[in-house]
Structure formats: C-alpha cells, structure tokens
Structure 1
Amino acid sequence: MSRYCSQCGKALKVCICSSIESIQTDVELIILQHPTEEHRPMGSARILSLSLPNSQCFVGEDFREHHELQQLLNEDGVDHYVLYPSDVSVVATEIMSVSGDTKKTRVILLDGTWKKAFKMWQINTQLHHLPSLHLPKELSGNYRIRKAPSENALSTVEAGYHVLSLIEPERDFTPLVRAFEQMIDTQIRHMPPGVFERNYLQ
C-alpha cells in the first residue's frame, strides 16, 4: 500500500485533499513547474491545480518545444499574460474585471525558487512576447516552512490567489489560502520537536 495520496501526491499523514475546495473561474491558470518542485513535500502549486478546474500544470524547465503549451499559446480568442516582474510588466489590477469580455484570459505562473524561475524565464523566450504582470509590492507572503528571500516573496499558491483576486474581484478565492494554511500547519505538526523553531523562527 502506498504511503502517498494518489490525488495530491503528498504523504498520507499530511494529505491536503480534505482542505481542497473547487473554485470556478473565468481566468485560466497555466503553471510551468520546475522539475525540482514536482515532488517537494512543501510545494504549494498542487493546491492550485486541485482547486481550479480551469488550470493546467506542465513540468519542465525548457518549454520552447512543448507541444501542448504551444497549442494553448496559439489558440485564437485568448489573451495570455505571464506573472513575472519584468522591466515592462504592469500591475495585475490593470487587467481586472474580465467578466463579460468575449476573449478568454490565461495567466502563466512559473513555479520554482526565485533563482530557478529566473532561469526558466531566460530560457523560455517565447514568453517574452506576452504581456507580463506583477503583483502590488506591498503584499507579503506567509510561507513559514520555506526560507524566503524577502518578506514580500510569495508561494505559488499565494501568487495565484492574489492575481486571481485582482482580476476577478467578484469571486472569493480565500479557500486557496485556507488550504495553504492548513498544509503548513499540518507539516509543522509532523516535524520532529524543535525543528520548526530551530530552522524557521530564527
């Protein structure tokens, strides 16, 4: 019998499936996940793909010849954006309120450490031709079980939550944050005594 959940991929003792709520969205998310994140116990992108029927996750580093992604990018009647803070990115609020728009909206997220996401951005030059978005700089993350480069560094699920909330303010995306918080709390409870305090509270 497997020690891992077949749906969320996490160890059964820290399975997150009971905290997942399905959320219907007009915006579609495409998650490009670095291979080192796919089986990481504390990765958060899985919350997005489990919660959002309008999401897809592709694993890899170089997507320049990824057939399925290229088909999506070539689809007519779709506005594509990349959530990445480039020199020409605009704040996500500038494309808010897609309701009633005849075009579909897709947002691409890069899932990896800042260093690996930067490398993915450099490699996948086809993404440079898409409008890029950034989130308001005053946002702060709550990824208590991973070291963050700065206070406003966000996990992938937090980034997804914020960008969706800004584009579709009429919808409630808080179940994503609740599932994330429950994942963190469960992971902390199953850490050996003193590990969390020693490694993450200093």
Structure 2
Amino acid sequence: MPLPAPHAVSRLRTARIARSSKPFLARGGPRGERCAGCRLMPSHCLCALSPAVPVRAGMCLIMADIEALKPSNTGWLIADLVADTFAFDWARTVVDPALLALLADPQWQPYLVFPGEFVAGRRVVTEIQPFKEFDGNQGQRPLFVLLDATWPEARKMFRKSPYLDHLPVLSLQSEQLSRYRLRRSQRNNHLCTSEVATLCLELAGETLAAQTLDAYLDVFTNHYLNAKQQLPVDLEDALHLRLRSLRLPLVG
C-alpha cells in the first residue's frame, strides 16, 4: 500500500538523519529493514491501521535530540492521528523561528503541559479555556505543547527554554498509571508522550480522538513487541477490534 504523506515528526526525523554523521541504531529492537511509514518491521507494519479522526486541538512536540529517531517514540502516533501536529528539535542555545511564530499565532491558545509541582503556582492551570472567537468567525483552538523526552531531559528543557516562560502550564490531574511497555521508567505515573496527549484531548472534549489515540498506542505496542519477539500479530484480538470499532464511524 502507498505510504501516508510524511507528517511533522516524520519530516523532523528525516532532517535529523540528514544531519547525523553515522547511522542511528535503536537499542533493543530489530536492526533490519523498517517501514518508512511506521518504523516497524514490514511484517508487522502498522500503516493500514493508522486512524483518521477529526481533531480541532493542535499538538506541538518539542523533541529532545534523538527522540524523533527512536522507533519506540510515541509522538509519531500523535502526528498520525492529529492533523495539526507540529514538531521541533530542542536545543539549549537556539530556537526555531517557526516555533516562536506558532506560539504567537492568534488562532491558537498554547498550553505547556508539565507537572504543576515543579512550577510557580501563578502559571499553573488545570483546565483549558473554552474555544474563543477571533478574526470574526473562527474559534481559537488549544495547542498543547509537549516536551517529548525522557523525564530528566524534559526537566532540563523546561528550565532552559525561556521562550516558554510566558505560557500557562497545564498540570494534568490524573491517577492513571502508564501502560507503556517499550521503555523503562522509575515511576509508573510517568506517562509516555502519547498517553499525555490522550489526557489533553480528553480535557479539550475530544473524546473520540482521545479513545482512538489510547487504542492506537495499545496496538502499536503490540506490533512493536511482537516484532521484537518474532511473533505474528493477531489482527482479530481485543486490541485490534477496539481500534477498529473506533474507526468505524468515519467509514461510508
């Protein structure tokens, strides 16, 4: 089947590879051929299952140095689902002018998603503003700014990105434990980027999109681990049936 058009994370990955002086070898995964559309082994390709759901909210991924290169990165899943996903490399001394322009664009209300316990209280919000009108007839939409990195990297990015200091900090109130099994974390309440985006979509009232992204992460994890263990994928198991049921309203 034809590959989907490259989204923001895919384009960032391509640009990052072009800058690399040596090939990136992912730890813990197969080092053979990978599908350019989903980063999995061709035998476990996920492209045919990529969901299409209308989403009004936007996602802005600020990614640590090699995050876009990792096959286990879940920001890729967000970009598969949310049409208005933007992705930028993070650097301590340089900021992409396109990122600054996006944050200043009046069609968006940006929220920097980060735990409130690490932030001055006056910046912290736990709810988002309702869609507001601007320019006569279009609503201002929420733009969730996610630091796509390991937790130590994300804390460093938060401290050393002064161009984000003016943004309200959205502190998600959730007791959800992470189900992400592709990398280790010292704490079960450290969610992966896709899980954070799911909570943001729920907060924005994008229920179908939140449920679909949640199901898509489960299916991606299943394909990834089965490929790693050289096991076949069961397209009729509960995970695939759940994702398929959420995609049905868009058929016809």
Common fold by TM > 0.5: yes
In structure 2, C-alpha distance between the alignment counterparts of 1:134 and 1:165, rounded to whole Å: 14
**Residue 192 (structure 1) shift:** 4.1
Q: Residue 182 of structure 1 is aligned with which of 219, 234, 243?
A: 219
Are the structure 2 counterparts of residues 158 and 21 from structure 1 closer, same or farther at C-alpha, using a change threshold of 3 Å? same
In structure 1, C-alpha distance between the alignment counterparts of 2:176 and 2:218, rounded to whole Å: 17
1:2-81 mapped onto 2 (5 Å cutoff): 3-62=33-92, 64-81=94-111
**Residue 77 (structure 1) shift:** 4.2
**Residue 76 (structure 1) shift:** 2.5
Does the aligned pair in 1 maintain the 2:201–2:207 contact within 8 Å? no
**Matching residue of 1:98:** 131
User: C-alpha deviations, 1:97-144, integer Å up to 9, x for none?
Assistant: 438783232110110100011111112111121000111141221012
**Matching residue of 2:205:** 168
Report the secondary structure of 2:165's partner residue.
helix
| Displaced runs of 4 or more, over 6 A | none
In the alignment, structure 1 residue 158 sits paired with structure 2 residue 195: yes
Q: How many residue pairs end up in the alignment?
A: 190
**Residue 72 (structure 1) shift:** 0.8
Stretch deviating more after TM superposition (169-178 or 95-104): 95-104
Report the secondary structure of 1:35's partner residue.
coil
C-alpha RMSD of matched pairs (Å): 2.3
Does the aligned pair in 2 maintain the 1:64–1:126 contact within 8 Å? no
Q: Structure 2: which 5+ residue stretches go unaligned?
A: 1-31, 231-252
Q: Structure 1: which 5+ residue stretches go unaligned?
A: 194-202
Are the structure 2 counterparts of residues 43 and 170 from structure 1 closer, same or farther at C-alpha, using a change threshold of 3 Å? closer
**Residue 169 (structure 1) shift:** 4.6
User: C-alpha deviations, 1:37-93, integer Å up to 9, x for none?
Assistant: 1121211110001111111112233375311101112222431110011423222xx
In structure 2, C-alpha distance between the alignment counterparts of 1:17 and 1:90, rounded to whole Å: 36
Does the aligned pair in 1 maintain the 2:55–2:209 contact within 8 Å? no
Does the aligned pair in 2 maintain the 1:29–1:108 contact within 8 Å? yes
Tell which has more relative contact order, 1 or 2 (C-alpha 8 A, sep 6+). 1
